[in-house]
């Protein structure tokens, strides 16, 4: 089935360039020139992935990403003309799955789009298998439907947040290093200065812990990593 991609960027040339490359790979595209238009399109159509620029008028990409994540879990790749770490951190913290700085190589963007689509479609089409329910106290993780409940209250996580929580839950009681978590979830080599995992752990705690600063589920083992 053809993947449907929403391209959101206020630069018409960039929108068209990305669309050409995606369509050459057999994907269907729709384009929005700002976040407000994109949100309206999401109400009418389903998309498999969103490419979202950060710097836009009316509503920036960070705000749009947070709004999208209130109801939807498809992968989001953020684009920005800035390359500072803080922009990347803000994008990931808002719920993005990947981040690419402008100017970017279109072939690299296509590779990242394909990677995100493979992961997303795999997790959303897995057949029911035994031991798909992981329970840790009042925390329940359904690895088939990718749903989370805390005290019978459903909690919405982004795809990356779920991947991290599932990894920790499947290794209950075992301390996993930041590098191991990153490489298992992102399928890339870990760089020591990268704090992507920490940002995602903080977001997960904000959603599943009653007191995020005094977590009962995800524990920090200082100098080593994290464990459930």
CATH number of the domain that residue 110 is part of: 3.40.50.2300
Positive/negative CA dihedral, 62, 64, 68, 70: positive
Same domain for 108 and 9, yes or no, is yes
Question: Are the C-beta atoms of residues 68 and 39 closer than 8 Å to each other?
Answer: yes
Say which residue, 228 or 1, is predicted with more confidence: 228
Same domain for 87 and 195, yes or no, is no
Helix 61-69 and helix 35-44, axial crossing angle in degrees, nearest 10: 20
- Residue 164 is assigned to a structural domain of this protein: yes
Same domain for 177 and 100, yes or no, is no
Domain final residue pick, 70, 105, 123: 123
Average pLDDT for residues 3-12, to the nearest whole number?
A: 95
Model pLDDT, residue 171: 92
Comparing C-alpha atoms, which of 115, 117, 120, 123 is closest to residue 142? Answer: 123
Model pLDDT, residue 103: 87
Same domain for 115 and 172, yes or no, is no
How would residue 90 be classed by pLDDT, with cut points 50, 70 and 90? confident
pTM: 0.55
Q: Which domain holds residue 190?
A: 133-227
**For the domain that residue 159 is a member of, what is the CATH number?**
1.10.10.10
């Amino acid at each position: 089935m053809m993947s449907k991609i929403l391209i959101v960027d206020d630069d018409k040339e960039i929108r068209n360039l990305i669309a050409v490359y995606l369509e050459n790979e057999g994907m269907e595209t729709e384009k929005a020139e700002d976040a407000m238009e994109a949100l309206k399109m999401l109400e009418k159509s389903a998309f498999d992935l969103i490419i979202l620029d950060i710097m836009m008028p009316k509503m920036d990409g960070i705000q749009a990403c947070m709004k999208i994540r209130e109801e939807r879990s498809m992968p989001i790749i953020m684009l920005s003309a800035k390359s500072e770490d803080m922009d990347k951190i803000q994008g990931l913290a808002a719920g993005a799955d990947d981040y690419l700085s402008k100017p970017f190589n279109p072939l690299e963007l296509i590779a990242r789009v394909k990677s995100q689509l493979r992961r997303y479609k795999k997790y959303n089409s897995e057949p029911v298998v035994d031991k798909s329910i992981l329970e840790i106290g009042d925390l329940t993780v359904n690895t088939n439907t990718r749903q989370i409940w805390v005290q019978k209250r459903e909690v919405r996580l982004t795809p990356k947040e779920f991947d991290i929580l599932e990894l920790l839950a499947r290794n209950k009681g075992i301390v996993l290093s930041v590098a191991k978590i990153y490489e298992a979830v992102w399928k890339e080599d870990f760089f020591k200065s990268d704090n992507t995992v920490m940002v995602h752990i903080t977001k997960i705690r904000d959603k599943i812990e009653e007191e995020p600063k005094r977590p009962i589920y995800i524990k920090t083992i200082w100098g080593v990593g994290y464990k459930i």
